[in-house]
With several copies, the nearest count.
Chain A
Amino acid sequence: MLIDAMGIILADNGRVKLGELNDERALAATPFGGRYRIIDFMLSSMVNSGIKHIGILAETKYSSLMDHLGTGSHWDLDRLQQGLRIIPPYMQSDFFRSPSPQDLNGLYDFLKHSVQMHVVVAESNIISNINFTEFVKEHEASGADVTVMYNHDADTLGSPNVSLTFEDNKLVDLLIDPLNLTSDCSSLGAVVLTRSLLMDMLTQAISRSEVLFNTEFILEKYKELTIRGFENNDMTLRVNSLATYFSASMRLLESNILQKLFKAENRIYTKVKNESPARYLKGNHVSNSLISDGCDILGNVEDSVIFRGVKVGKHSKISNCIIMQDTVIRDGAELKNVIIDKDSVIRSGVRLQGSPDYPVVIRKGVIV
């Protein structure tokens, strides 16, 4: 059945920062997996589930996010009535920020002018190809006030942010970043509730001058509301630190993860850049790597994720690295366990080496 739900995606999460990668961009806008940004996964999951009215709640540093999202057309969300909206008043300069009680008014107004029965609120830092149809359907059937998506985390990555304890499938406790796990259920950062209930919750928060909104804001009401769990068994990668960002990227090189994320019936959409095909030129050797359009490969690449338009010079050696868009690796450079942000240049002969737990990060647009 056509799903009667709208979506809210949170572009930032106060507890998750990926170091210098987020200096000038929202968490949601962090490049990931060769040609994507982190938000592409949640956005595509919603679109593929038939959720076609989606608000993005960005706090600050929205500029690269807006550049990525454009009119929403790459997700087929450039619509006359509904589609994609960046929600004011978060929409402000990258340069100044003054939270005010009115911050939640923008979200409230967006909800008020929508027509769907349900709202799926989701964090953006979950890398998965989720179908929300069953989630919403089961929420409707259960009669719960709120349903939260969780998994058992066993074969997923990273420590849970939010550990959930259920009794009779009713949420009875919630621990944020716990040191000792008392439950094996961890939130997947997605909840569903009726639009009217969310508006009621916001009204109260606004009158109390609260300004923060995230999924915990909703889950913390577990004493007043009936909050049920919905277990999701999809392959999921959590990105909640630089180390988990790095290892999640590397896990894309595992064949079954690549297939499940990207070659399922539902595809992950992203901004199309019309790069030319990648060229493999004399002297290259590539092994166990993801390579993107627009690359020129003349050197050695192994166990790495190479974004669009990267130039890899002769005799260079790249191992266990993430090299972002339009970066140039000059002849003979050697890199191991390194993340290089967009538009950088690594000069001839430069050697950089991090460890898998503490990868070296090179900022956007620098020459090393």
Chain B
Amino acid sequence: MPKQQMIAMILAGGQGSRLGVLTEYIAKPAVPFGSKYRIIDFALSNCTNSGIETVGVLTQYSPLELNSYIGNGYSWDLDRNLGGLSILPPYQSLEGSDWYKGTANSIYQNITFIDNHNPDYVLVLSGDHIYKQDYRQMLRAHIEAKAAATIAVREVPWEEASRFGIMNTDEEGNILEFEEKPANPKSNLASMGVYIFTWKTLRAHLIADENNPDSRNDFGQNIIPAMLADRETMLAFTFDGYWKDVGTIFSLWEANMDLLDRPQEINLQDAMWRIYSRSTLQPSHYIGENASIIDSILTDGVEVYGNVKHSIISSGAVVEEGAEIKDSILMPGAVVKKGCKIDKCIIGIDTIIGENVEVGVTVKDGRADFVNKKFCSDGITVFGSGLVIADNVKIMANSMFFPVDEGQTSDVILESTVLGII
């Protein structure tokens, strides 16, 4: 196959456990986002739009829905004969069988895959960030600086800097020091988890790292510090566009709301930088006689007969007559029945909310037994996928609804079906 200048490896194996019920059966990159997308659409579309044609997706945790969604890569024009998209799960070999131990180990286990494509550079990405970036600009900087590694960084408010991996650089942007969540940050340049490595150099470091029994085999914790210690040329590349890690319920909700409140920042209508997604094969959406919709985004297959305000409605979702939806996210196929009042909710795939259900901060006398402060905050309530919620219940904000285990019963969750995919 023709030599590839740069191939991309997308880390998509993590459980995303801070998303609670939303990642119980599906990997975080496959979580629906922004009415017609899945989170990984952003990384994949960035690759395609940057002219990268060989993409490895490293999977491990609950990959079925993700695999099924990605398919052969067709929707992102990555169904190539030469290169294209490959799903890279852990595997067994004569040397034994290992699950991926850390981000660096997952790349280590796929050295042969990368060698076969013989790239000069390898782009390592997370599959769960929302942003639009042309990686070609970063590659140009990497090549010009003859760097061993280039790390995309963005300026964060100084007061938040201690929550991030912070790069301390000289004036040319060379990284002098990397500090993971420093108490007293010396810089406000936070790593975005987007790395370009010169493959030959990374390859050597991965092998050295694997041979170090004390390593946690992680890029941020082990590889980057080791490369700095070896005095490799390490470049910080400043990115100033929109970027969000949707790792928590609140940040997922917030990033969705950003599409409504700050549409110019992650402009989805930009014809020069399309975000591709897998088509749901649904017709245009239908708005009924008495519906009202305001400050919201909707996509194919949706049917709205009720009132929707400042919300994200995904494909095939239905809002029945008289229902009121506000500041909420309906994932694909979610149904909100007549008379509901839904405030700040995330409703999972194919979940049905019974008639006259009320959820939100204004509900004073609601059920408190689903309140879940571990995952939920700021008044957000989350329903898992494939649930059926009873009619007429009132629910306190900050609740999270998990499927009911077999044999158990619940007066609120009438049914929890096995998740259907795509």
Contacts and interface: CB of A to CB of B under 8 A. Distances in A.
Complex: A in contact with B (CB within 8 Å): yes
Interface of A: 1-2, 33-36, 47-48, 50, 73-74, 76, 79-81, 252-253, 255, 258, 261-263, 265-269, 272, 274-282, 284-294, 301, 305-307
A280 B263 CA distance: 12
Interface stretch (B235-243, B292-300, B339-347, B410-418): B292-300
Contacts of B139: 1
Contacts of B299: 277-278, 293
| Chain A interface helix/strand/loop/mixed | loop
A262 B282 CA distance: 7
A267 B281 contact: yes
Interface in B246-288: 263, 268-269, 274-277, 279, 281-288
Nearest to B83: A76
Nearest to A294: B269
B123 to A, nearest CB: 13
Contact of B3 (A265, A290, A301): A265
A122 to B, nearest CB: 17
A265 B281 CA distance: 11
B283 A34 contact: yes
Interface string B45-58: 00000010000000
A79 B277 contact: no
A167 B16 CA distance: 66
B291 A287 contact: yes
Interface of B: 1-3, 5, 34-36, 51, 74-75, 77, 80-82, 136, 139-140, 143, 263, 268-269, 274-277, 279, 281-301, 308, 312
A277 B286 contact: no
Given A279-B297, A280-B298, A76 B81 contact: yes
Contacts of B75: 272
A292 B297 contact: no
A305 B284 contact: yes
A292 B287 CA distance: 11
A76 B3 contact: no
A284 B287 CA distance: 12
Contacts of B51: 2, 50
B137 to A, nearest CB: 11
Contact of A269 (B277, B281, B284, B290): B281
Nearest to B34: A277
Contacts of B5: 1-2
Contact of A48 (B2, B74, B289, B300): B2
Given A1-B5, A286-B293, A277 B268 contact: yes
Given A1-B140, A266-B2, A286-B293, A278 B81 contact: no
A345 B291 CA distance: 27
A290 B285 contact: yes
A53 to B, nearest CB: 11
A76 B35 contact: no
B281 A281 contact: no
B64 to A, nearest CB: 21
B288 A287 contact: yes
Nearest to B80: A76
Contact of A284 (B77, B289, B294, B312): B294
B35 A287 contact: no
23 contacts: A1-B143, A2-B5, A2-B51, A33-B284, A34-B284, A50-B2, A76-B82, A80-B77, A253-B286, A263-B282, A274-B275, A277-B36, A277-B297, A278-B285, A278-B298, A284-B293, A284-B294, A288-B289, A290-B283, A290-B284, A291-B286, A306-B284, A307-B284
Q: In the complex, which of the residues B2, B34, B139, B268 has the most CB atoms of chain A within 10 Å of its own CB atom?
A: B2
B283 A258 contact: yes
Nearest to A83: B77
Given A1-B139, A2-B136, 17 more contacts: A1-B5, A1-B143, A253-B286, A255-B286, A263-B301, A269-B281, A274-B275, A275-B269, A276-B36, A277-B268, A280-B297, A284-B294, A288-B288, A290-B283, A290-B285, A291-B287, A293-B299
B289 A291 contact: no
A287 B277 contact: no
A288 to B, nearest CB: 5
A282 B294 contact: yes
B297 A290 contact: no
A293 B296 contact: no
A73 B74 contact: yes
A80 B301 CA distance: 23
Contacts of A268: 281, 283
A258 to B, nearest CB: 6
Contacts of A34: 283-284
Contacts of B136: 1-2
